[in-house]
Structure 1
Amino acid sequence: MKKAMVLLATEPAERDAKLAREALGRRGDDRDAWVLIEAACAATPDHLLRKVGVAACPAFQEPLRKLLVSLVRSYRCAEGSVDMAVAKQEAAQLAEAIRRKKQPHGGEVVRIVSTRSKPQLAATFRCYKEQHGSDIEEDMKQYSSSQFARMLKIAVWCLTSPEKHFAEVIRYSILGLGTDEDALTRAIVSRADIDTKKIKQEYRVRFKTTVTDDVVGDTSGYYMDILLALVGKE
């Protein structure tokens, strides 16, 4: 409960920085990388975390480190026109790296995902699906099982459909024995004023239950009350 209250009372940029520093001090597993990707890709540009010392962190190894560094250094315009010719060209470049070469860690992939605006990327990913009949994140999973591919999928979700990622974070935080309270708190608190409604809808469709039911089933006391207040009625 204390951590939830602290995060609630913290400005978004400061909260991102605090969570990132904590992630950099841990083992560097998938869930630590999630925190950095969320700060870099799901945050709005006005409070985007710019420098978190990823390059100096021994927990993350190449090529994942290169992706994380590129993402946290990037500043994306919130608005902007979409160039469909570029979208089609870069969709083809992504397919070449992911489907044919099976090398999602290629330089062009990192460049595209870490530098293009969110509207431009959304257009590129639509072109990708039109060209190949599958979503880019599905192909990442099919053609590569590496940690890099898993984190690249998270980056794509956070950039274009963050509700997918945060629904998954909530679900994973309550599965199995015990609760990953850090992940559960982070997901619900950080998205409370942004896209909670979309997350709840995504959660219901994917997992055939509700965020409310799972929070009630896995937490208790004032901590549960805080989370339910943020989630809202379902």
Structure 2
Amino acid sequence: MSSVTSNSSMRSAYRVTIGLRRGLKSFRYTSKPTVVPVNPFDPREDAAVLRKAMKGFGTDEKAIIQVLTRRSNEQRLRIAFEFKTLYGKDLISDLKSETSGKFEDLLVALMTPLPQFYAKELHDATSGIGTDEDVLIEVMCTMSNHEIQVIKQAYTAMYGNFLEDDLRGDTSGNFKRLMTSLCMGNRAEDFHVDQEKAREDARSLLQAGELRLGTDESVFNAVLCSRSFPQLAAIFQEYQFLTGHDIDDAIKAEFSGDLEKALRAIVKVVRNKPLFFAERLHKSMKGLGTNDRQLIRIMVTRCEVDLGDISDMFQSKYGETLASWIEGDCSGHYKKCLLGLLGLY
């Protein structure tokens, strides 16, 4: 690839990442990120610091961590652009040659434009033998319309396929229909709540589930994939009034498998998105072994959005800090880098 093409691709990734980040921020009323753009920002100076940290014998991992965990994804891409301009070398390639293991994986994730990062996670979840439905649920059930559209563009650019086609080809039944609907990125996103319509939808869900023999999955699909999150919250409240129990209990009784997990994920995200991700982080570190890919994905993608809220929810639910779990479950520079994303290194 020529340098002109490479630089053009980098600029394009930079612009798309800005768009995705704006979409992330605009979808939430308030949030508590742990990584914010540094100001003043000098990408050439940062590039020089990284070059020095990796030049000659030995590597200054502390310098690398302190630069990359204290800059936004957008700023890291600008540093990479300046690094190649100044030294004629690819920053990611240098980082990979100087580091290894999970620390390397985390650094590469930090240096990847967000749309491309999500696209790769979805592609890896559907390629090869078997499907990682948990990844599909985590990404597709939590994204805004804008985020989904940008990820779809990145996916096609990277793999030459449409995300929808790959999702449909690797899933089946009603779960496939749910993923297809979410992939449209066509959910209502206004904040107006129509209480009468919420009552109608609650009755429709009741009639499609608990009040009939068998379940009409299409009604749940239509409501949970197209209504806005504020409207869904009102629908769930009306369902409680109608039945005396929670919509989550009804979904557990009426559905099973991946479809149940996905529908319950939507309910959780509507009610408390930070708590949803706190539970995912807890699951990634609970028991024997660590799901490092899940841990890295959430830490990297949420640090500029609501990782502070997620950390608060983690402590509230589990009585221990997220930082203490990372301390106990990870080690070395990998651990320090994760703590850096929490603003603790």
Q: Give the TM-score range, shorter chain.
A: 0.7 to 0.9
1:37 to 137, 142, 166: 137
1:49-128 maps to which residues of 2 (within 5 A)? Answer: 49-50=151-152, 51-52=162-163, 53-58=165-170, 60-101=171-212, 106-128=217-239
The equivalent of 2:98 in structure 1 is none
For 1:76 and 1:216, locate their aligned partners in 2 and report how far apart those are by CA, in whole Å.
Answer: 39
The equivalent of 2:87 in structure 1 is none
In structure 2, the CA distance between the partners of 1:26 and 1:154, relative to structure 1 (3 Å rule), is farther
Retained in 1: the 8 A contact 2:188–2:226?
no
1:25 paired with 2:127, answer yes
1:179 to 279, 290, 308: 290
* SS of residue matched to 1:179: coil
Q: Which amino acid aligns with 1:38?
A: E
Q: Deviations over 1:68-100 (max 9, x none)?
A: 111112323433422211111111222333433
For 1:102 and 1:163, locate their aligned partners in 2 and report how far apart those are by CA, in whole Å.
Answer: 36
Paired-residue identity, %: 27
Higher relative contact order (CA 8 A, sep 6+): 2
1:190 paired with 2:190, answer no
The equivalent of 2:76 in structure 1 is none
The equivalent of 1:2 in structure 2 is 104
1:12 paired with 2:123, answer no
How far is the alpha carbon of 1:105 from its aligned partner?
A: 6.1
Q: Which amino acid aligns with 1:156?
A: V
In structure 2, the CA distance between the partners of 1:102 and 1:21, relative to structure 1 (3 Å rule), is farther
For 1:56 and 1:179, locate their aligned partners in 2 and report how far apart those are by CA, in whole Å.
Answer: 29
1:168 to 275, 279, 287: 279
Task: Give unpaired runs (5+ residues) of structure 2.
Answer: 1-102, 153-161
In structure 2, the CA distance between the partners of 1:100 and 1:223, relative to structure 1 (3 Å rule), is farther
The equivalent of 1:228 in structure 2 is 339
In structure 2, the CA distance between the partners of 1:206 and 1:8, relative to structure 1 (3 Å rule), is same
Q: TM-score scaled by structure 2?
A: 0.60
For 2:263 and 2:213, locate their aligned partners in 1 and report how far apart those are by CA, in whole Å.
Answer: 13
How far is the alpha carbon of 1:170 from its aligned partner?
A: 0.9
Q: Which amino acid aligns with 2:134?
A: W
For 2:138 and 2:253, locate their aligned partners in 1 and report how far apart those are by CA, in whole Å.
Answer: 23
The number of residues matched between the two structures is 230
Task: Give unpaired runs (5+ residues) of structure 1.
Answer: none
* SS of residue matched to 2:210: helix
RMSD: 2.4
* SS of residue matched to 1:42: coil
Q: TM-score scaled by structure 1?
A: 0.86
In structure 2, the CA distance between the partners of 1:222 and 1:90, relative to structure 1 (3 Å rule), is same
For 2:187 and 2:229, locate their aligned partners in 1 and report how far apart those are by CA, in whole Å.
Answer: 7
Retained in 2: the 8 A contact 1:122–1:160?
yes
In structure 2, the CA distance between the partners of 1:139 and 1:184, relative to structure 1 (3 Å rule), is same
1:141 to 226, 245, 252: 252
For 1:197 and 1:38, locate their aligned partners in 2 and report how far apart those are by CA, in whole Å.
Answer: 19
Retained in 2: the 8 A contact 1:54–1:65?
no
How far is the alpha carbon of 1:147 from its aligned partner?
A: 2.9
Q: Deviations over 1:108-144 (max 9, x none)?
A: 1001111112222222122222333333223322444
How far is the alpha carbon of 1:184 from its aligned partner?
A: 0.8
Pick which of 121-130 and 221-230 moved more.
121-130
